Amino acid sequence: MRTQVCIIGGGPSGLLLSQLLRTRGIDSIVLERQTRDYVLGRIRAGVLEEGLLRLLEEAGVGRRMRKEGFEHAGTLISYGEEMFRIDFVEHTGTPVMVYGQTEVTRDLYDAREASGGAVEFNVGNVAIHDADLDNPHVTYTVEGMERRIDCDFIAGCDGFHGVSRRSIPEEARREYEKVYPFGWLGILSETPPVNHELIYANSERGFALCSMRNENLSRYYVQCSAHDKVENWSDDEFWTELKRRIPSHVAEGLVTGPSIEKSIAPLRSFVTEPMRWGRLFLCGDAAHIVPPTGAKGLNTAASDVHYLFRGLTQFYELNDEEGLDRYSNRALARIWKAERFSWWFSSLMHRFPDQSEFDHKMQVAELEFLRDSKAAQKAMAENYVGLPY
Ligand code: FAD
Ligand code: DHB
């Protein structure tokens, strides 16, 4: 088989890239290790930046998101019993959209199917060949049969544990990493959200986040030990812990119910440089990870897709390699700023095992500065709604 762009990974990055390329008549094949249902069963991000909304619209998949998503003009931040609000629209003119990654992925799969675009599910043994030469190819197995795709370019959209990043020789890449000494235990429950906007909570028992997917679907997280197991947490224990971490007047209004999903995510900051090796381009989690505080994971994946899509379009339509040559630098310039924001917000909101009383005083001082300073709020809002691209 031959295609112009072979996309490894059918998560949001790979699917979005494939559908954007389609709008310009550029052919691609998506290779996904899992089944469609498995990919759609993963509960992940919930907050989308304006830049991602525009890309979804450009890819022709914005209609349901605009209809069913919820615009949020601001967010709440609490510490102990104190709570204050940051108004994104006042400071930046831009809201964010609450619409789950699961729904984004579903819309992209539906569009891909409707347009007859190829997605191969259940692929195994994906291997990248000759990415440093002019004629790369990808091999894989499906139902025990060996297959080969020849292509012009390979987009490595296969997440943190994929093969793409590891296909770049170690001497040709540099990795930067910070692992945080805790995780997030998250649950999804068919209950009305405790508040109409998100609440990020710093408490002496650790971080908590009250989020949502719609009027009757809530997403809550509590900071837990890095070694914790989901089985250690009954629903009752989760709700009790959450209530202790948010201001009591908010906790009083919390509607609890059975969880329909429960999982633990580790927290990590990670960047690999460069994001290109020959004709292989890394996109999204394959190249970088942020801790989830501030919801930048999916949104940084989207800005990579934007830069790569523009580069590929420039190449095919104008025979100009400038966009591809500058892809890595452009993407990384934005990613490092999102890394900084996610690191800063994580450092501000969590309880660290080795935190001293001085460190805690610094967190409180910073929270109060954020509460009282319009300039600090503007800087936070600018980052939260997403830096331009
Ligand atoms: P992925 O979504 O990881 O997609 C990669 C795809 O490639 C997967 O479908 C995978 O099955 C496939 N794949 C992997 N290896 C291969 C292979 N060898 N061959 C073929 N296919 C392969 N972000 C937020 O903003 N907010 C959150 O609350 C949030 N929560 C998260 C919770 C968890 C547990 C995780 C892991 C991430 C979370 N993120 C969150 C981050 C966000 O979900 C990711 O940034 C986003 O999914 C990145 O999209 P992606 O397409 O680059 O990678
Ligand atoms: C969600 C996750 C986040 O990491 C975040 O900062 C906001 C919302 C969520 O899953 O809803």
Q: What confidence tens digit (pLDDT) does each residue in 243-286 have?
A: 999 999 999 999 999 999 999 999 999 999 999 999 999 999 99
Q: Which of 298, 306, 345 to mutate to test the pocket of ligand 1 (most atoms within 8 A of CB)?
A: 298
Distance 159 CA to ligand 1 centre (A): 5
What per-residue confidence (pLDDT) applies to 43? 87
The string over 266-281, giving b where at least 16 C-beta atoms fall within 10 Å of a residue's C-beta and e elsewhere, is ebbbbbbbbbbbbbbb
Based on the fold, state whether residues 263 and 273 are members of the same structural domain.
no
C-alpha 211 to ligand 2 mean position (Å)? 6
CA neighbours within 13 Å on the CB side: how many for 348?
Answer: 21
Residues of the chain with pLDDT under 70: none
Look up the CATH number of the domain holding residue 124: 3.50.50.60
Give the separation between CA 322 and CA 315, rounded to whole angstroms.
8
- 338 and 262 fall within a common domain: no
- Quick one: 245 and 300 in the same domain? no
Ligand 2 pocket, 297 CB below 6 A?
no
For ligand 1, atom 53: residue with the closest CA: 159
Q: Name the residue of 28, 35, 98, 101 whose CB sits within 8 Å of the most ligand 1 atoms, as the mutation to test its pocket.
A: 101
Q: Is residue 157 part of a domain?
A: yes
Q: Is 308 in the pocket of ligand 1 (CB under 6 A)?
A: no
**Which tens digit of pLDDT belongs to each residue from 136-186?**
999 999 999 999 999 999 999 999 999 999 999 999 999 999 999 999 999
The label of the residue with tokens 């609450």 reads: 98
When divided into structural domains, the chain yields a total of 2
Strands of the sheet containing 118-120, edge to edge, are 118-120, 28-31, 5-8, 153-156, 280-282, 276-277
Q: Based on the domain organization, do 45 and 156 belong to the same domain?
A: yes
Please indicate, yes or no, whether residues 170 and 186 belong to a single structural domain of this protein. no
Indicate which CATH number applies to the domain containing 226.
3.30.9.10
Cβ of 100 below 6 Å from ligand 2: no
Domain containing 32: what range?
5-72+96-177+268-346
The answer on 120 and 11 residing in a single domain is yes
